[in-house]
Amino acid sequence: MSKYRIYELAKDFNTTSKVIIDILNRNNMEAKNHMSSVDEDAKNVITRTFAHKITSTPTAGTSTIENKPRTQEQPTQTTRSAGNDGRPQALSNSGEQRPSSNPQPQRPWQSQSNQNRPQQNQQRPPQTPFQGQRPQQNTQNQQRPPQAPFQGQRPQQNTQNQQRPPQAPFQGQRPQQNTQNQQRPPQQNFQPRNAGTQQPPVQSRPAAPPNKFQSNNNRPTNNNNAQRNQGGGNFNRRPQANRGFQSRGAAPAVKIEPPKPKSVKLGESITVKELSSKLCRDVGEVIKKLMMLGVMATINQDLDFETASLLATEFGVEVLELPPEEDPTEIAEIEDDPSSLVLRPPVVTVMGHVDHGKTSLLDSIRQTHVTSQEAGGITQHIGAYKVTCQGKKIVFLDTPGHEAFTAMRARGAQVTDIAILVVAADDGVMPQTIEAINHAKSANVPIIVAINKMDRPGANPDRIKQQLSDYGLVAEDWGGEAIMVPVSAQKKTGINELLEMILLVAEMQEIKANPNRQAYGTIIEAKLDKGRGPVATVLVQKGTLHIGDTIIAGIAYGKVRAMVNDRGEKVKKAEPSTPVEVLGLADVPQAGDVLVAVDEKIARAVAEKRIAKRRTDELMQSQKVSLDDLFKQIQDGNIQDLNIVIKADVQGSVEALRQSLLALNANNKEVRVNIVHAGVGAINESDVMLASAANALIIGFNVRPDGNARKAGESEKIDIRLYRVIYEALHDVEAAMTGMLAPEYKEVLQGRVEIRQLFTISKVVIAGAYVLEGKILNSSQVRVIRNGIVIHEGELESLRRFKDDVKEVAAGYECGITIDKFRDIKEGDIIEAFTMEEIKPKG
Ligand SMILES: Nc1nc2c(ncn2[C@@H]2O[C@H](COP(=O)(O)OP(=O)(O)OP(=O)(O)O)[C@@H](O)[C@H]2O)c(=O)[nH]1
């Protein structure tokens, strides 16, 4: 059953709450205050009371009363019958009571109204304005007949809604209330209700006073009857009341909707709420539309540009893209016109396994191709040098090995255009060869293989080609695309061919830059020189660096005071692919920092912002991928590829792990497992640097990180996971991918102990050991490591100093240990002592 608040009824009947309460109390109905709720019966009582008032005071009102019944005269008959049908008496009564007021001059406005609204009039049975309204009321709410007085209260609405004549009764009764009503906004509530039914659209509502009258005129010609003179007189007599209606009808009753935009400007992302307000749409409407587009979003969810613009287009709004927000710590990169680009010398890095001849090859190239007349053949070590071959230049980075290459890449710098992979012909593909291949591939750098030591008797280039083909490098003469050149760094043979191949690849790669712009380069090396201050070797990559240019590199900035090239000559400018030592920076930048020539003010401002940012960055841990928060990172959209470095004790395990991890891709669409490197042996620093550069985690199976790797892992915040059961590794990765990983414990390393001597006393093997770092406790769990491979994991049986059992032994002391259920200990083995600590849940 419907419930009504007293104040609502008061509003509806254009009276005060007190009057309503009084009426109800008189009828033995409870109503305490304006907030009290009453039922339908109560409302009917009120309706009847008001109807009675109207019928019993036909002339009670002044002209205002007369104003309305006039329009109701015709309805009398029909409303009566309507009343018999259970419809309110009020209307019929009111109509009945005012025959005398009918003779009003309706025609003048009536005709206008008809002109204005011919269709409405046509649609409605003209003689019964009430009827015209009623059917809707009845269908909408048959229980609520008292709509009539309600209508009667809202003259101004009637002026807008020409279908509603019966205002007069209440106006007549409460002339003052009309003035009150002018201050009240409740009509706004009323209007929308009607808006969907009988009223014309807001925009088309007439607002001018004559219209108001016209609205009444809207009513059928039958109304003409006798009302004309009086009606006209009434209107004339009550200009104020009319004015009141007018102002009410024109201003507060109209819900002004903000105009819908034709176009919006959108940035990289915007929340649903912001977008709704930009589009001047309801949030619900926007969310609904998103759902229809297949995007489930909440009010505060960020939408990317594509989604937001698709949505705006759905609403018929044009989208203009805002330029990306500028990072105050970044200097906007200049986009070069393709027509301004010219070929520049390629920059080459030499990589390969230890002792395969990287340094010898670089030396040999330098000796054979740095012409002696240039600076007397004396080359200066500045981190890179240029050689000439067939009149063309090639730049070699002086630090061989993929570690430096990857360390630079980890800092976001990529200077290498081509990688030379040195493989000793008498040795073959070795672990670091594979690492180098993966490092280069991960950086998308083309590889040229130099099969070195061809002078050696055991040299077998075909075997090398065969082995390399297993890693995706198929030699050209074997039908592949990889360029392989046999060389001897020692005998200086094949060097020319190698350089020619470099030029060929460079040509194919179209390595180009615009020399006519402000310089952009990368710091290769930097140091603080006692006499000269900060000295940085810069590889200029784009533009030309001049003496006097203001430069910024990382947090260091200054003016170029002097430049020295790789042959020790002072130069005034450095063009693309030129390595130069630069003097003039106020600070020592870091290798890998980008150097840019800019305006001095910008350099200073950006440097200050970078220093501030570095401080905050140091406070916030850099977000590297980790199994612990992998799922959150996936959810945040930070990760699409889960990069993994695999290290294991034997090749079989490496492959088993690789295959099983890649198989996880079949069941997971949100993140893709990507193996950036997989190799045999202990986890080394290079693995950690690769993981850092590729934002990868490291999975070690039966292997351990060496000391340097552990330190690098800590400083680079690399998640190194060590397993002894493949299934556990798989389970962890899979669980992390689906947010199900709940690690409860983590391993905390307590100390490292070296086995130095073995004693056998009564068939018990006692290991004489020395604590290298940390400490070992009698409660420690231990892991026996031989050549980086875990050969046993278990618990200590005893820990002694001399003949006494002790609780712990610290670094620098000797001790005797026996391991529970393990006798195969050997001198030189390392024992890791560790404990498992409970991980506190994050957040
Ligand atoms: N016979 C022969 N020996 C070579 C050749 N190239 C290098 N070697 C020798 O191989 C050894 C290692 O050479 P390096 O140039 O130091 O090798 P690398 O790869 O730079 O070694 P690391 O710096 O330790 O990684 C040296 O003894 C060289 O003399 C070659 O073409 N022929």
The tokens describing 766, both together, are: 């006692």
According to the model, what pLDDT value does residue 53 have?
Answer: 57
Q: Distance, CA 364 to ligand 1 centroid (Å)?
A: 11
In whole angstroms, what is the distance from residue 626 CA to residue 697 CA?
6
Q: How far, in Å, from the CA of 507 to the mean position of ligand 1?
A: 30
Beta-bridge partners for 452 = 424
Per the annotation, does 398 bind a ligand? yes
- Residue 336: how many CA atoms within 13 Å on its side-chain side? 17
At 841 the three-state DSSP class reads coil
Distance 430 CA to ligand 1 centre (A): 15
Among 355, 366, 368, name the best residue to mutate to test ligand 1's pocket (greatest count of ligand atoms within 8 A of Cβ).
Answer: 355
Nearest CA to ligand 1 atom 11: 355
Average pLDDT of the chain to the nearest whole number: 73
pLDDT at 495 over 80: yes
Residue 189 Cα to ligand 1 middle (Å): 91
Residue 120 pLDDT > 60, yes or no? no
pLDDT of residue 255: 57
205 part of a folded domain? no
Question: How far is it, in rounded angstroms, from Cα 556 to Cα 551?
Answer: 8
pLDDT top residue among 67 and 723: 723
Q: Is 455 in the pocket of ligand 1 (CB under 6 A)?
A: yes
Residue 730 and residue 795 in one domain: no
Which residue range forms the structural domain that includes residue 771?
Answer: 744-839
Tell me the HSE value of 113 on the side-chain side, using a 13 A CA sphere. Answer: 30
Whether residue 649 has pLDDT greater than 50: yes
Point out the least confidently predicted range of 21-35, 287-301, 361-375, 522-536: 361-375
- Tens-place pLDDT, residues 137-170: 333 433 443 343 333 333 343 334 334 433 433 3
What's the CA-to-centroid distance between 331 and ligand 1, angstroms? 43
pLDDT digits (tens, 9 = 90+) for 380-421: 677 888 888 888 999 998 777 776 677 777 666 788 999 999
SS3 762: coil
- Count of Cβ atoms closer than 10 Å to residue 414 Cβ: 17
Which of the listed residues 359, 362, 452 should we mutate to test ligand 1's pocket, taking the one with most ligand atoms within 8 A of CB? 359
| Domain boundary pick from 588, 619, 650 | 619
Rounded Cα–Cα distance for residues 385 and 797 (Å): 59
Inside any domain, residue 48: yes
Does a structural domain hold residue 100? no
Ligand 1 site, residue 402, Cβ cutoff 6 A: no
Cβ atoms of 203 and 147 closer than 8 Å: no
Task: List b or e across 449-481, with b for residues whose CB sees 16 or more CB atoms inside 10 angstroms.
Answer: bbbbbbbeeebebebbbebbbebebbbeeeeee
Q: Which of 795, 659, 628 is nearest to 721 (CA)?
A: 628
pLDDT attached to residue 610: 84
The total domain count for the chain is: 6
CA–CA distance, 643 with 645 (Å, rounded to integer) = 7
Q: Are residues 645 and 703 in the same domain?
A: yes
Are residue 601 and residue 693 in the same domain, yes or no? no
CA 419 – ligand 1 centroid, Å: 18
Q: Are residues 552 and 695 in the same domain?
A: no
237 within a domain of the structure (yes/no): no
Beta-carbon contacts of 151 under 8 Å, excluding residues fewer than 6 positions away, are 133, 157, 158, 164, 165, 166, 167
Whether 834 is in a domain gets the answer: yes
C-beta of residue 419 within 8 angstroms of C-beta of residue 348: yes
Is the distance from CB of 586 to CB of 559 less than 8 angstroms? no
360 lines ligand 1 (CB under 6 A): yes
- What's the burial of 239, exposed, middle or buried (CB within 10 Å: 0-12/13-18/19+)? exposed
- Annotated ligand binding at 391? The verdict is no
- Backbone φ and ψ for 156, nearest 5 degrees, come out as -65, -25
Kind and range of the H or E element at 305? helix 305-314
700 is in an annotated binding site: no
With a 6 Å cutoff on the Cβ, whether 493 touches ligand 1 is no
- Among 350, 353, 358, 360, the mutation site with the greatest number of ligand 1 atoms within 8 A of its Cβ is 360
Give 337's DSSP letter.
P
Q: Which of 461, 493, 513 is the last residue of a domain?
A: 513
122 falls within a domain: no
CATH code at 828? 2.40.30.10
From 725, 679, 717, select the one nearest 697 (Cα to Cα). 717
Asked if residue 477 and residue 392 are part of one domain, the reply reads: yes
The mean pLDDT of 89-105, rounded to a whole number, is 37
Q: Which two tokens stand for residue 554?
A: 């990382």
Same domain, 549 and 695: no
pLDDT band at 241 (very low <50, low <70, confident <90, very high): very low
Distance 444 CA to ligand 1 centre (A): 27
Predicted confidence (pLDDT) at residue 424 exceeds the cutoff of 90: yes
C-alpha span between 783 and 65 (Å, rounded): 102
> β-strand 745-761 against 764-777: which pairing, if any?
antiparallel
Query: How far does Cα 371 stand from its chain's mean position?
Result: 54
Per-residue pLDDT reduced to its tens digit, 14-56? 788 888 888 888 888 888 777 788 888 888 888 888 776 554 4
Tens digit of each residue's pLDDT (9 = 90 or more) over 564-597: 988 888 999 999 999 999 999 988 888 888 999 9
Q: What is the pLDDT of residues 727-778, one digit of tens each?
A: 888 888 888 777 655 555 678 889 999 999 998 887 788 899 999 999 999 9
Distance in Å, CA 363 to ligand 1 centroid:
10
Q: Domain of 708: which CATH number?
A: 3.40.50.10050
Interhelix angle for 239-250 vs 228-237, to 10°?
80
- Residues 508, 694, 417: CA angle, nearest 5 degrees: 20
> Is residue 502, in this structure, part of any structural domain at all?
yes
Which parts of 196-238 fold into alpha helices (H)?
A: 209-217, 228-237
Identity at 550, one-letter amino acid code: T
Residue minimizing CA distance to atom 14 of ligand 1: 357
DSSP H/E element including 697? strand 696-701
> Distance between the two ends of the chain, CA-based, in angstroms?
50
Residue 486 and residue 355 share a domain: yes
Residues 297 and 414 in one domain: no
pLDDT tens digits, 625-644: 677 777 776 766 666 778 89
One domain, residues 357 and 497: yes
44 three-class SS: helix
- Regarding whether 656 and 781 lie in a shared domain, the answer is no
CATH number of the domain within which 428 lies: 3.40.50.300
439 is in an annotated binding site: no
**Residue that terminates a domain, selected from 488, 513, 538:** 513
Q: What is the pLDDT of residue 496?
A: 92
184-188, 328-332, 418-422, 457-461: least confident range: 184-188
* Six token digits for residue 828: 């030189």
Q: What pLDDT score was predicted for residue 521?
A: 93
User: Is 356 annotated as ligand-binding?
Assistant: yes
Positive or negative, the CA dihedral 297, 300, 304, 305 is positive
Cα angle 173-175-177, degrees, rounded to a multiple of 5: 100
Q: Report residue 732: phi and psi, to 5°.
A: -65, -45
Q: Is 843 annotated as a binding residue?
A: no
Quick one: pLDDT at residue 82?
Answer: 35
Query: Does any domain span residue 149?
Result: no
User: Is 738 annotated as ligand-binding?
Assistant: no
Overall pTM > 0.95: no
Range in 189-203, 336-350, 649-663 the model is least confident about: 189-203
Residue 467 and residue 484 in one domain? yes
pLDDT the model gives residue 715: 84
Lowest average pLDDT, out of 222-236, 256-270, 458-472, 820-834, goes to 222-236
Report the nearest atom of ligand 1 relative to the CA of 354: 25
* CA distances to 118, 161, 418, 590, 772 from 594, in Å: 77, 71, 20, 9, 41
Q: Are 483 and 511 in contact (CB under 8 A)?
A: no
% residues pLDDT > 90 (the chain): 24
| Residue 296 burial (CB count, 10 A) | 9
Whether 731 and 590 map to the same domain: the answer is no
